[in-house]
Structure 1
Amino acid sequence: MTAMLHPSSVTSHNTAVRLAGVHKRFGGSRDTVVALEGVDLRVAPGEFVCLLGASGCGKTTLLNLVAGLDKPSAGDITLTTSRPAVMFQEAALMPWLTASRNVELALRLAGMRRSERRERTAELLDLVRLGGLGDRRPHELSGGMRQRVALARALASTTAGSENGTPALLLMDEPFSALDAITRDVLQGELLRVWRSTNTAVLFVTHDVREAVRLGQRVVLLSSRPGRVVREWAVDGLSGAEEAEIIEEINSGLREVISSHAAA
């Protein structure tokens, strides 16, 4: 079976990204590691989907495949969005550039004119509540502020390619895991605000069940390696009692896949 990565020229009204029978293997014939096996997943335009699973189950590998940073060993990945932007655990900002220049760099690489870049950069920094701080360099910002700049830069990457009406896609790999609890809580709320205002599709990797339920419209659980989709939950618009029940149910499922991973 051959692997195919379909570009954004494929059109669909109800799919931002679709994975069909995706496999990913690393290594040679003697030391092959199967990271993903037969993954089927669809994210709709503007949908917020959270991925959960045991460490090493292939969550980051899946994001890398969707981002085009690696190729699947088999299966199809269909994108109907602009080029996805990726946000990692670390902000990964250019230390010699100001916050504004870090954001503007994504727009420059997309070929946007200088005057438009500066205007769009100011809009994005305002959106993440960093208006007036564009001249600061990364070392002058707190960890939470640096992640806000990284979010603005990721949004710049997605929106620069989606000006023709193509949906945007943001891939997030545990972006708040290195932050303290209070900063993390604030940025979760900020991310939801930004997501609602931009209608960007989000595929968000986390180990935190409460974070997944708070942020996502849908939570997808991967099995232990090789990663497969074993269960999904719709978590949008839950009442307090329903949310507590779903969290316990997801925790139970996560404990099962972690136990199977430890026993393997």
Structure 2
Amino acid sequence: MSATLASPPKTASGTAVELTGVRKIFGRSGRAVTALDGLDLKVAPGEFVCLLGASGCGKSTLLNLVAGLDKPTEGAIELNTSRPAVMFQEAALMPWLTAARNVELPLRLAGFGRAERKEKAAELLELVRLGGVGSKRPHELSGGMRQRVALARALAATLRVDGQPEQALLLMDEPFAALDAITRDVMQGELLRVYRSTGTAVLFVTHDVREAVRLGQRVVLLSSRPGRVVQEWDTRVDDDSLTDEITIRLREVISTHAAA
């Protein structure tokens, strides 16, 4: 199978996305809610960053802003990749389309021709180890298989019709939260395999500290609402106590919010 997404060079510099002083307010006057306030964050090309925080701290809001689904009230977002692709907790596949046609959909919207769409969709399904299920519809697939199709579709959404090499960014909002423990473990391993083979930058939202440490090269902890970065950890450091350290810090953040 030919490479679908090119891995970035080892010396890649700059940022895939950078948020500077981002503030997001919903509502007006007395009913206004500040979801994010003064948030600064950088994701390097090809980097896997996990966002961790309590419910309501603005993690999903942050992804929506990066995806261009909403605009910040203040601050700047600089995106240096192709159009970000988003993967949600639910696979959200079109039930009347086959797995292959679901993957082809963003390619069609991007202007790829029919033959090229089919070829790239087949490559992507092979990449997520679903080469034999392209003709099946979502209801014929298990939950884990549907999420693999959703991952293939998200990767397809980062491709450009002109074929020019460009850094890609994948935004993932708790994509494995609805899966059972065994399937979730398998999908985490599959995601790491796909990530290492494509070099796509990933911004991954989770509530699970163990998931964050396993997947991310860097774990970023957000404060409770309004969300801002309070601490970061490099998971590539060989430290057996890292999961416990992050868990303790997360509990402190949640306790501070509860006491407010």
Q: Who is 2:118 aligned against?
A: 118
> 3-state DSSP class of the match of 2:158?
helix
Change beyond 3 A, Cα 1:162–1:212 = farther
Q: Who is 2:171 aligned against?
A: 171
Deviation at 1:261, TM superposition (A): 1.8
Deviation at 1:161, TM superposition (A): 6.4
Change beyond 3 A, Cα 1:65–1:82 = same
Q: Who is 2:18 aligned against?
A: 18
Distance in 1 between residues matched to 2:183 and 2:29, nearest whole Å: 45
Distance in 2 between residues matched to 1:186 and 1:160, nearest whole Å: 30
Distance in 1 between residues matched to 2:97 and 2:257, nearest whole Å: 42
Q: Which amino acid counterpart does residue 142 of structure 1 have in structure 2? A: S
Q: Who is 1:92 aligned against?
A: 92
Q: Who is 1:216 aligned against?
A: 216
Q: Which amino acid counterpart does residue 206 of structure 1 have in structure 2? A: T
- Determine whether 1:249 maps to 2:245: yes
Per the normalisation by structure 2, the TM-score is 0.94
Deviations 1:28-75 (A, max 9, x none): 111110000000000000000000001000000000000000000000
Map residues 1-264 of structure 1 onto 2, 5 A cutoff: 13-160=13-160, 163-236=163-236, 238-239=237-238, 242=239, 244-264=240-260
Deviations 1:168-189 (A, max 9, x none): 0000000000000010000000
Identity %: 75
Distance in 1 between residues matched to 2:130 and 2:16, nearest whole Å: 29
Distance in 2 between residues matched to 1:161 and 1:185, nearest whole Å: 34
Say what the alpha-carbon RMSD is for the aligned residues. Answer: 1.2
Deviations 1:96-152 (A, max 9, x none): 000000000010000011111100000000000000100000000000000000000
Change beyond 3 A, Cα 1:186–1:162 = farther
Aligned length: 249
Q: Which amino acid counterpart does residue 251 of structure 2 have in structure 1? A: R
Deviation at 1:159, TM superposition (A): 2.4
Per the normalisation by structure 1, the TM-score is 0.92
Contact persistence 1:216–1:235 (CA under 8 A): yes
Q: Which amino acid counterpart does residue 260 of structure 1 have in structure 2? A: T
Q: Which runs of 4+ in 1 moved over 4 A?
A: none
> 3-state DSSP class of the match of 2:31?
coil
The unaligned stretches of length 5 or more in structure 2 are 1-11
Distance in 2 between residues matched to 1:138 and 1:160, nearest whole Å: 26
Contact persistence 1:162–1:168 (CA under 8 A): no
Deviation at 1:160, TM superposition (A): 3.2
Q: Who is 1:4 aligned against?
A: none
